[in-house]
Structure 1
Amino acid sequence: MEFHEGDKVEVCSKQEGFLGSYYTATVVKKLDLNSFAVQYTNLVEEEDMSKLLIETVSADEVRPVPPRIKFGSGFSAFDKVDAFDNDGWWAGKVTGQRGPLYFVYFETTGDEIGYHVSRLRIHLDWANGKWVSSKNMVS
């Protein structure tokens, strides 16, 4: 997919401990056919925490921001979701619900954490230029 300066995107982390998490960013510049400079929305520079982090990323780490999907009455057990935590979106599966909290299991870490519904979204994969959901809600 073609991205241009100013486009809102999500960047997949390939760093150990962050594998599979996505962080919102804005394309600052297309550097060549296979890389972009992006400025993250929530990540800051280590040396100066008042500055948003700008980083060079490869094109295969960048995808459009997923569409917002209304999910009606909430999530069910085993639904694939993304949970907003540690400044990014992390993929997991719903394991249960208690009041306003949904419990999400993360295969990559083995953790199960409770999240308010406002911090969850339906998990979508970007494949062949379109969004794909296990619930077939997006085409």
Structure 2
Amino acid sequence: IAQSSWIKVGETVEVTGFSGSWFSANVVKKINGNKYLIEYLNLKTEDETKLLRKEAEISCIRPIPPNIPQVKSYSLLQEVDAEISNGWWCGVIYKVLSNSKYIVFFRESSEELEYDHSQLRPHQDWVDGKWVKASM
């Protein structure tokens, strides 16, 4: 059973999308015990006139990951989150390039894409109400 006591109306959270992606959103209201109305911070409705709102189950919501000290460099095979289309997608450092650039491999799509260091963050998982750093 997911603990929802940490979720507060007005709080900024992350909501899971497809293929393990996470998008920032604000909690608008609690609908019932396990469901909340959220409004995405960077995703808009189809007509692009307002921010997208949707209902989300507690199992699809997590707090914003804590800021951990910025790493100077990432290592081969290290799990990272890469910023794509206003969301964060989990991938693995596949190649370390020069000039603080990396090739990141995404298991879900089998894609390899190049990223600058500033577009990555260390991957963390929300497990049983606690943040767990990904192991290397």
- Taking structure 2 as the reference length, what is the TM-score of the superposition? 0.91
* Per-residue deviation, 1:74: 1.2
How many positions carry a matched residue from both structures? 131
Contact (CA 8 Å) 2:95, 2:103: kept in 1 or not? yes
> Could you say which residue in structure 2 is the equivalent of 1:81?
80
1:95-106 correspondence to structure 2 within 5 Å: 95-98=94-97, 99-106=99-106
- Residue identity over aligned pairs, in percent, reads 37
4+ residue segments displaced more than 6 Å: none
User: What do residues 60-116 of structure 1 show as CA deviations (whole Å, max 9, x unaligned)?
Assistant: 100000011114321000110000001210001001122221111000000010111
- Taking structure 1 as the reference length, what is the TM-score of the superposition? 0.89
Contact (CA 8 Å) 2:73, 2:100: kept in 1 or not? no
Unmatched runs of 5 consecutive residues or more in structure 1: none
Contact (CA 8 Å) 2:105, 2:112: kept in 1 or not? yes
AA at the equivalent of 2:57: S
> Could you say which residue in structure 2 is the equivalent of 1:28?
28
AA at the equivalent of 1:35: K
1:44-123 correspondence to structure 2 within 5 Å: 44-46=44-46, 48-98=47-97, 99-123=99-123
* Per-residue deviation, 1:50: 2.5
* Per-residue deviation, 1:19: 1.8
> Could you say which residue in structure 1 is the equivalent of 2:125?
125
* Per-residue deviation, 1:135: 4.2
What RMSD in Å do the two structures reach over aligned CA positions?
1.3
